[in-house]
Structure 1
Amino acid sequence: MTRLETMLGGSPYVAYLYGYPHKTAYRPLSPAPSLESVWARERREALFLYLHIPFCEMRCGFCNLFTAAGPREDVVQGYLQALTREARRVKEALGPTTFARIAVGGGTPTLLDVAGLHTVFDLAEQVMGADPHRLPVSVEVSPETVDAAKVAALRSRGVDRVSIGVQSFLESEVASVKRPQKTAQVESTLDLLRSAGFPTLNIDLIYGMEAQTEETWLASLRAALRFAPEELYLYPLYVRPLTFLGKKARAWDDQRLALYRAGRDFLRSEGYTQVSMRMFRARHAPAVDGPVYRCQEDGMVGLGCGARSYTERVHYSSEYAVGSREVRSIIASYSERTEASFGEVGYGFVLDEAEQRRRHMILSLLAEGVELAAYRQRFGTEALADFPELAELETHGLARRTPEALRLTDAGVERSDLIGPWLHSEPVRALMEGYSWR
């Protein structure tokens, strides 16, 4: 029996792959290279600028993001000052740069007050040279932290996409994942966001929560559609180490696959196009505007504690943690750093040529598919020769090959969280398995 066949005999929910290698494969880099050397040979015509705000009003029971709940105001201000120092040093190292996208995430960016939000956008525009009025800009918001003044500030700075984590419109379900959320407040916030005229509203929902049924899951989807979101992301519940749910002594599901299929079929019947396992896009969604950005090929500049940056050869970030004490310690150390200290890359992963090819292949396959000519043009070799294991996906009906591309079938898409980890290289798997959660 092959490794894929063994994995197919278990849960389809192994791990969500949104980047490769995963952050748990990062380690201290010694000697630490300079920012200038890391970016020296990189294309800088279509970079993604990401700014991370590692604060929330609360930590949800399923959350393993790098964030601290309920920070004091002096901690927030100290962080923003350090973010300013980092932005200046990074821009110095990058030199002339063109950005294709801007995103502000976390955590919860709208935990910041209006002045704090303007500080973040001032950094993007005045320090980094990324004009929010000319580029697609996405910001994460939450029902508990958004108000009319913050919404007006975001619109005034050119934000054209807001993403809100609702998770469920049933209070009993969100309570089961330690999220004390009131449906009336959620609906009021969604009304506010719609009335503000953001071209794209995204709503995040979660399936697989305790006591959730197909009926209640579809009820949440119907509730979401009342606000005509341009995008919907459907996330399976993951129970991860050190989270509130991860500490509960119980077995978790598995009805997630049935709920996924019910949600997928419902949204398709309502005219939504499935873009990936998680993402669904409405007919009325605006065309994606701005410069072309391809995550397989173009770099990312991450600013802030918890943000990751990607070049072709080096991926790097601050250290990662989930536990409250460790997260706060890392944020405190970040906030004390000098501008000069941000000129070194001390923690990350160096991709050799084999890992660069693998990253391109995995990220392509889990999105629009592996375009064979694009792979050949970039690497000078054939994707299916470099990765003969891909033929096994066809054998099991998980992918279909045409002369132009290899793309996942519906059966493959619903197993994206298995296929991604299956394709990890052995060195990356070993690093991830050796990671010490804290």
Structure 2
Amino acid sequence: MTATATPEAAPAGAAPASVRPYEAYVYAYPHKTAYRRLPDRPALRDLWAGQPKDALSLYLHIPFCEVRCGFCNLFTRIGAPDGLTTAYLDALERQARTVREALAADGTQPRFAAAAFGGGTPTFLTARELERLCDIAEQAAGADLRAVPLSVEASPPTATADRLAVLAERGTTRLSLGVQSFVDREARSAVRPQRRADVEAALGRIRDAGIPVLNIDLIYGIDGQTEDTWRHSLEAALAWSPEELYLYPLYVRPLTGLGRRGADAPDPAWDEQRLRLYRHGRDLLLAAGYRQVSMRMFRRPDAPASAADDHACQTDGMVGLGCGARSYTSTLHYSFDYAVDMGEIRRIIDDYVGRPARDFERAEIGRHVDGDEARRRHLLQSLLQADGLAVSEYRARFGTAPQGDFPAELASFAARGWLAGDTTGERLRLSPEGLAHSDAVGPALFSPAVRAAMAAYDRK
């Protein structure tokens, strides 16, 4: 992810300047590239003292994959030498127990409303190791996995029957499978070696396991992809009646396999291709009866709930465990070091597995989230959802209205036709065209300080 310029609001009567529809995928704000080393290394027991802890989200990160796709800039390494996964789980357990003690230091026991295993590929672990991972989440971290939504990410080769049986038995409610394309040639183009037959077999095993929600990830914008091949992948996915589908635009990021072939320079023709494919996929899924939740997410209306009703990504805290996870309090977001380069990732993982329990007592790298940044985060993460932002909830939290806090940004969105209705109502919602431009809307709400920090980040 790279820093981008924020479009300015157009003067009255002027046509808004054009912007790239694919500035950046904003899945969290502020992004990790805006984090810096915290000179005071605050103790977790102090950071969490007095924080609301009745609806936390728990995230366990597994930084291993069998291969690394050409588009991937996630914190993960290829394979694991003998003993590394055991050493990693040992460190994860030490961290979980230390963090749980810190959270309860003020006398308030934490309650988890949702849990997720991500990566990397959590199902890179063996079935026995997945059992231990669940034990760590329950016994060390304190989450009741069978009582809360549990989402797990998987790849087709690692979605084996024995692993899926463990996940189903331990309470997994959602399994997300990274397919990306059902066309073998496109998968190879994205540097993701796989065969459709193997993908179909994995999907069959997931359905046999009885996990309530199946999500399938697909990517559009792959070199050589056409509307016909894109439709082919969409229809192949729909044949499994997945409860959720995520449609991701391809990005070419620095230090990735595809990024080494060429920089992600502005390419109007590619932008137009991705927009065209997005609209085609959106319309096909809407016609099939799916409900659009965000630019990327589509959900079957009869699908069982996969998230806790009382969990809100804008306000609730996150407890991240593992060397690639991040944690959120109301005033500080923190994590371990971040890298994309494989050598740097190996170094960070080696450092993590060698840490004693006391080294997990403090936050080392992060970014403080003050009043302005909290407002931006709430607006951004709400507005990027199809349901939009309830102004009353924003006002109840901050004592102000978003129209008064961000008049220039909202005026700019309205001038481009990205808002449904005007900016004065009690619900701010993106129009269909606004949702299509979510990857421009998000970066437009970054603060100048965050954009400067991201631009100054030394990639590694």
TM-score range, shorter chain: over 0.9
Report if aligned partners of 1:161, 1:200 keep a CA contact under 8 Å in 2.
Answer: yes
* Compared CA separation, residues 69 and 3, structure 1 to 2 (3 A): same
Aligned to 1:124: 137
What residue in structure 1 maps to residue 312 of structure 2?
Answer: 294
Partner Cα separation in structure 2 for residue 178 and residue 163 of structure 1: 20
**1:304 to 2:322 alignment:** yes
Q: 1:37 to 1:413 in 2, by over 3 A?
A: same
Structure 2 distance, partners of 1:128, 1:12, is: 40
Cα deviation for residue 249 of structure 1 reads 3.4
C-alpha distance after superposition, 1:383-421 (max 9, x if no partner):
110111212212221113463211100010000000100
SS at the partner of 1:358? helix
State the match for 1:386 in structure 2.
405
8 Å Cα contact 2:389/2:429 also seen in 1: yes
Q: Distance in 2 between matches of 1:324 and 1:127?
A: 30
* Aligned mates of 1:296, 1:287 — CA distance in 2: 19
Instruction: State the Cα distance separating 1:285 from its structure 2 match.
Output: 0.8
- Is the 8 Å Cα contact of residues 100 and 135 (structure 1) preserved in structure 2? yes
Name the residue aligned to 2:77: 68
Q: Which residue of 2 aligns with 1:373?
A: 392
C-alpha separation in 1, matches of 2:220 and 2:144: 37
Task: Choose which of 173, 177, 190 in structure 2 pairs with 1:164.
Answer: 177
Match of 2:371 among 342, 353, 356: 353
Q: Retained in 1: the 8 A contact 2:114–2:307? A: no
- Residues 223 and 84 (structure 1), Cα distance of their counterparts in 2 relative to 1, 3 Å cut: same
Alpha-carbon offset, residue 10 of structure 1: 3.8
Asked whether the 8 Å contact 1:239–1:246 carries over to 2, the reply is yes
Alpha-carbon deviations, 1:10-56, whole Å to 9, x = none? 42001000111011100000111000111113100100000000000
Counterpart selection for 2:97 from 61, 78, 88: 88
Please tell me whether the aligned partners of residues 16 and 412 of structure 2 are also in contact (alpha carbons under 8 angstroms). Answer: no
Residue 296 (structure 2) pairs with residue 275 (structure 1): no
Whole-angstrom distance in 2 between the partners of 1:139 and 1:147 = 14
Q: Contact 1:7–1:418 at 8 Å: present in 2 too?
A: no
Residues 308 and 316, structure 1, Cα contact 8 Å, conserved in 2: yes
Letter of the structure 2 residue corresponding to residue 80 of structure 1: L
Q: In the TM superposition, what whole-angstrom CA distance separates every residue of 1:235-265 from its partner, at most 9, and x where no partner exists?
A: 0000000001101137762310000000000
CA distance in 1, matches of 2:158, 2:306: 28
The corresponding residue for 1:418 is: 440
1:403 corresponds to which of 425, 432, 437? 425
Q: Are the structure 2 counterparts of residues 19 and 290 from structure 1 closer, same or farther at C-alpha, using a change threshold of 3 Å?
A: closer
- Please say if residues 167 and 205 of structure 1, whose CA atoms lie closer than 8 Å, have aligned partners that are also in contact: yes
Match of 1:110 among 123, 129, 133: 123
Change (3 A) 1:7 1:206: farther
> Counterpart amino acid of 1:387?
F
Tell me whether 282-291 or 85-94 shows the greater mean CA deviation. Answer: 282-291
Indicate the RMSD between aligned Cα atoms, in angstroms.
1.5
Which of 32, 56, 59 in structure 2 is aligned with 1:47? 56
| Preserved contact between residue 370 and residue 407 of structure 1 (Cα < 8 Å) | yes
User: 1:369·1:408 contact (CA, 8 Å) conserved in 2?
Assistant: yes
Structure 1 residue 7 displacement after superposition = 8.8
Distance 1:185 1:40 in 2: 49
SS of equivalent residue, structure 2 residue 83: helix
Contact (CA 8 Å) 1:241, 1:247: kept in 2 or not?
A: yes
Moved more, 154-163 or 361-370: 361-370
Name the structure 1 match of 2:229: 216
Contact 1:46/1:291, CA 8 A, preserved across alignment: no
1:199 aligns to what? 212
Q: 1:349, 1:37 → 2: CA distance?
A: 16
Give 1:249-264 correspondences, 5 Å limit.
249=262, 253-254=270-271, 255-264=273-282
**What letter corresponds to residue 310 of structure 2 in structure 1?**
V
Change over 3 Å in CA distance of 1:428–1:2 after alignment to 2: closer
Shift of 1:119: 1.1
Structure 1: segments with no counterpart, 5+ residues: none
Q: Percent same amino acid at aligned positions?
A: 52
1:3 aligns with 2:25: no
Shift of 1:154: 0.5
Structure 1 residue 133 and structure 2 residue 153: aligned?
no
Could you tell me the TM-score, scaled by structure 1's length? 0.97
- Find the aligned partners of 2:78 and 2:335 in 1 and give their Cα distance: 21
* Aligned partner letter, 2:149: P
Give the paired residue count: 438
Runs of 4+ aligned structure 1 residues displaced above 6 Å come to none
